[in-house]
Structure formats: C-alpha cells, structure tokens
Amino acid sequence: MKVDGQCHCGAITYEAEVEPGTIAICHCRDCQRQSGSVFRTNIPAAAETFRITKGVPRTYLKIADSGNRRIHAFCENCGGPIYACAAENPKSYSLRVGALNQGHELGAPSRQIWTRRRVAWLPPLQDVPAADGQA
Ligand SMILES: [Zn+2]
Ligand SMILES: [Zn+2]
C-alpha cells in the first residue's frame, strides 16, 4: 500500500510502500527517549520504495548497547522523526506510523518487542504477540 508522510512543520515529505498489518511496537528505552513517549510505533518499508519528496533530513547515528548501528533521520526545524534504517546498505526503512497520512488504515500492530521495558500503567496489549527483548 502506498503511503506518504511528513514532519510536523512540513519541511520534509516522503512516500513509500508498506504492507498493512506489519506495524511493530517497541517499548525499549531508546525508543522511549527518542520519541518522548512510552513506546514507538513503526512500520517497515522496502528500501527501493522509500523516497524523500521534499527537504533533506538531518541524521543521527545511534549505537545500541549491542553495537548495532542505526541512522535516525529527523527534521532539523521541528524535530519530527522521518525514518530509521541500518547504517550500512539499508534494505528497509522503519517509518513512524504517527507521521504517515494513512496511519489509521494500516491495521493493528502485529508484534511488540522489549516488553520488559513496558511502563507498568500501560495495559498489556494482550492480542499483540510479544517478545520481552529484541525478538
Ligand atoms: Zn519539520
Ligand atoms: Zn526500541
């Protein structure tokens, strides 16, 4: 399914193809810190379908505790997240569901990871398959 999205201020826009029903939630500390919320909601897009249609995002190299290196791209004007991808030869781009214009048409999450970092007050999302760590 074709989707498009933008940062909050509109300086950066993009489009991609995603598969409805492939949304993942991540409860890890990095996602909490980077989103400013208690989990992040992502959907993957194959690299060949992802295209920035306006603007140039800034990028940040995130090195995980595991040593895994990922690029996080965001709008330098409003701070809105654009994507995350592998630092070398990305095969897919992880898009932020809340930034997509079709976010409500993509179905419920199909998995959640890092549930051991899930905040205690959040109901456990019983119907979403869970992994307590990276999966
Ligand atoms: Zn912006
Ligand atoms: Zn995470």
Q: CB–CB of 39/31 below 8 Å?
A: yes
CATH number of the domain within which 51 lies: 2.170.150.70
For the chain, how many structural domains are there in total?
Answer: 1
Cα separation, 32 vs 25, in Å, equals: 11
Would you say residue 132 lies in a domain?
A: no
pLDDT at 135: 78
Q: CB–CB of 56/11 below 8 Å?
A: no
Cα separation, 135 vs 133, in Å, equals: 6
pLDDT at 66: 85
Tokens representing 130? Answer: 């869970």
Would you say residue 59 lies in a domain?
A: yes
Please give the distance, rounded to the nearest whole angstrom, from the Cα atom of residue 43 to the centre of ligand 1: 20
Domain that holds residue 7: 2-117
Mean pLDDT for back-to-back runs of 10 residues, the chain (135 residues)? 98 98 95 94 98 98 90 97 96 97 96 96 93 90
Nearest ligand to the CA atom of 35: 2
Would you say residue 123 lies in a domain?
A: no
pTM: 0.93
Please give the distance, rounded to the nearest whole angstrom, from the Cα atom of residue 25 to the centre of ligand 2: 8
Q: CB–CB of 45/95 below 8 Å?
A: yes
